[in-house]
Amino acid sequence: MTMKPLLSKIKSVYKHQSDSLIRTIIYTIGHFFIAASCVMYFTGASLYLALTDAIIEPILNGFWYYLLDRFWASKKFPYSK
């Protein structure tokens, strides 16, 4: 398998979504610093621990959301499409 299809796809996504990707990256970096600042302020944790929490917590939340969404999508609710 060659890398050309993958690189082509990455370039296509970047070309069509670059503004959104840049905003997402800026938002994510901002989230890390805001979350770390809150953890440090409210708990007195060190910068290292606060940054660790600020990075790990969104990853775990993303995993939880994925599991929840998969469960939700597997059910037939009367009010869903």
d(CA 22, CA 20) in angstroms, rounded, equals 5
Enumerate helices (H) and strands (E) in the chain, giving the number of each.
Answer: 2, 0
Q: Considering all CA atoms of the chain, what is the largest pairwise distance in Å, rounded to the nearest integer?
A: 50
Q: What is the pTM of this model?
A: 0.60
Average pLDDT in the 33-38 region? Answer: 93
Which range has highest mean pLDDT (13-17, 31-35, 75-79)? 31-35
Q: Which residue has the tokens 């979350």?
A: 35
Are residues 32 and 55 in contact, defined by beta-carbon separation less than 8 angstroms? yes
